[in-house]
Amino acid sequence: MAKQASVLSETRTADAMLRARASRVVPGGMWGHLNAARLPEGYPQFFASAEGCRVRDVDGREYIDFMCSWGPVLLGHRHPEVEAAARAQADLGDCLNGPGEVMVDLAEDFVAMLPHADWAMFQKNGADATTSCVTIARAGTGKRKVLVAKGSYHGALPWCSPSVAGVTTEDRAHLLHFEYNDVASLHAAVDQAGNDLAAILVTAFRHDMARDLELPTAEFAAAAREACDGAGAALIIDEVRAGLRLDITGSWEALGVRPDLCAWSKAIANGHALAAVTGSDRFRDAATKVFVTGSFWCGTVAMAAARATLRIAQKSDVPAHLRAMGLRLREGMTLLADRHGIAIRQSGPPQMPTILFEDDADGAKGARFVQEALHRGVYLHPKHNMFLSLAHTAADIDAALSVTDEAFKIVARL
C-alpha cells in the first residue's frame, strides 16, 4: 500500500539522496524541462513505479497523475493489453538486423486510420519525426524556407530548440515565423518566403507553456492549407503532443483540413519509445530519397505496443473518454474557484487542460496551488498543459477535485 503523501513530507530522503548522487554525475542533476528544480519546491525528481492513472515517487508517495509522462501515457500506465503485446514481441527479439513484420503491420494500421496518410515511417522521438517531416518537405519541394509559429515547440534539436545555448544562427537560417491563429501574419511570412517556401509546420493546437491554450480557428487552418497549395509547399501538422487525444483520425479532420505530412510520437505506443511520420503520396518519393535512420528505429517492441495502443484507441473512443473526464475536471474547478472567490483561467481542449490563475504575474498562486495538491496526492503542473488518460475515472477526477477544494482554500488566503 502506498504511503500517504502528507505523512512523508518531512521524511523524503530517497529523492534527496538520488539528487545528491545525480548532481555529481549528471549535468545539473537532470537535463531539460524534467529538472524538478523548474517546478515548485516539494516536487519529486525521481519516480519508482506507475499503474493506471497513479504514479509513485521513490519515497513511496502516490499521486493521481495529470501529466501522464508529459503525454505518452494515453491509456494509463502499464496498460495490460499493451504490455502483453510488448512482452510477446520482446520474447521474439526487439533489436534485430532490420525491421520485423510488425513494422509493415503498423504502417498498414496508420494508413487505415488516417485519411491523409498513404504511407508511414517510424522513429523514436518526436523531434526525429518533426525533423524528418521538414527534411522530406525540403527534398520534395526543392525549397528551403519553413514557417513555424512563434513560441511553438517542435523538439530540442538546434533547428527548433527553445534555448539558444550551443545553437548557431545558421542552424535556423531558413526558419520564418508567424503568430498562431493569425492569418495576416501567416500570409506575411508566406510572402517573406517568396518562391522558396518548403513547408508550414504547425502544432495541432497552440500549446505554448504558461499561456492560455488556443484551438486553431477554421480560417487559420484553411489559410495554412491554401498557402501550401498555392506555393506547392507541404503542410506539416505536428501531432506529437495532441495526437490521438483530440481525434484519432487527425486533429484537423474536424476542420476539414488535411496535412501532407504529419509528425507523431508520445501517445502512439502508450509509453514505449516510438515516433512516426505519415504522409500522402505527393511526398512518397521525397520520403524515399531522404536518408533518415537511427540505431533503434526498427525496434519491434515499441511497434507491437503501438499496434495494441491504436487498436484500443479505436475500439474505446479514447478522445471521448478523455474529453468527458477533462470536462468533469474543468466544471468542478470552475465551481470550486467560484466558491472560494478565486479567478482562474482554464484553456485548451479538456483532454489536455491548462489551469492558470488571474493576477498571478509571479506565478505564486499557481505554484502554491499545485504544491498543496501535491502534498495531498495529486500531481498537477502549474504552467504546462496537462494530460488525461483512459485510466482516469470519474472517481479519480472527483478525488482530485476534493483536493482542489482544500488547495483553493489555502490559495484564497494568499
Ligand X SMILES: Cc1ncc(COP(=O)(O)O)c(C=O)c1O
Phi-psi region of 256 (alpha: psi -120 to 50; beta: other; left: phi over 0): left
Residue 127 touches ligand X, criterion: CB under 6 A = yes
Closer CB to ligand X, 29 or 162, in the complex: 162
C-beta of 238 vs 372, nearer to ligand X:
238
Q: Is 238 in the site for ligand X (CB under 6 A)?
A: yes
Residues 146-165 that bind ligand X (CB under 6 A): 153-155
Instruction: Kindly identify the residues of this chain, within the stretch 58-87, that bind ligand X according to CB under 6 A.
Output: none
> Do residues 154 and 166 lie in contact, with contact meaning Cβ atoms separated by under 8 Å?
no
Stretch that binds ligand X, among 80-88, 163-171, 238-246, 341-349 (CB under 6 A): 238-246
Of 33-62, which residues contact ligand X (CB under 6 A)? none
Q: Could you tell me the smallest distance in angstroms from the CB atom of residue 261 to ligand X?
A: 13
Identity of the residue, 203 or 351, whose beta carbon is nearer to ligand X in the bound complex: 203
**264-293 positions binding ligand X, by CB under 6 A:** 265
The least distance separating ligand X from the CB of residue 218, rounded to whole angstroms, comes to 21
CB 272, min distance to ligand X, A: 12
C-alpha cell at 128: 526525429
Stretch that binds ligand X, among 119-127, 163-171, 355-363, 370-378 (CB under 6 A): 119-127
Q: Is 122 in the site for ligand X (CB under 6 A)?
A: no
User: In the bound complex, what is the minimum distance in angstroms from residue 408's beta carbon to ligand X?
Assistant: 29
Which region, judged by CB under 6 A, interacts with ligand X, from 19-27, 120-128, 334-342, 373-381?
120-128
In whole angstroms, give the CA distance from residue 322 to residue 53.
12
Residue 77's beta-bridge partner residues?
52
- Taking the least distance from each CB to ligand X, the nearer of 206 and 225 is 206
Sign of CA dihedral 353, 354, 355, 358: negative
100 binds ligand X (CB under 6 A): no
Residue 220 and residue 227: Cα distance in Å, rounded?
A: 10
The residue (of 44 and 155) whose beta carbon lies closer to ligand X is 155
Under the criterion CB under 6 A, does residue 125 sit at the interface with ligand X?
A: yes
Smallest gap from Cβ 274 to ligand X, in A, equals: 10
> Residue type for 404, please?
T
Of the residues 240, 374, 397, 411, which one makes contact with ligand X according to CB under 6 A: 240
Choice between 141 and 203, CB closer to ligand X: 203
Does 396 interact with ligand X (rule: CB under 6 A)? no
Q: Minimum distance between the CB of residue 253 and ligand X, rounded to whole angstroms?
A: 18
Min separation Cβ 239 and ligand X, Å: 8
Query: What burial class does residue 257 get, using C-beta atoms within 10 Å of its C-beta: 0-12 exposed, 13-18 middle, 19+ buried?
Result: buried
Which of 5, 129 has the CB closer to ligand X? 129
**Number of residues binding to ligand X, judged by CB under 6 A:** 12
Regarding 241 and contact with ligand X (CB under 6 A), the answer is: yes
Which amino acid does the sequence have at 287? A
Q: Residue 202 or residue 344: which is nearer to ligand X going by CB? A: 202
Choose, by CB under 6 A, the member of 132, 161, 203, 351 that binds ligand X.
203
Which x/- pattern over 347-386 shows residues binding ligand X (rule: CB under 6 A)? Answer: ----------------------------------------
126 binds ligand X (CB under 6 A): yes
Binding site for ligand X (CB under 6 A): 125-127, 130, 153-155, 203, 238, 240-241, 265
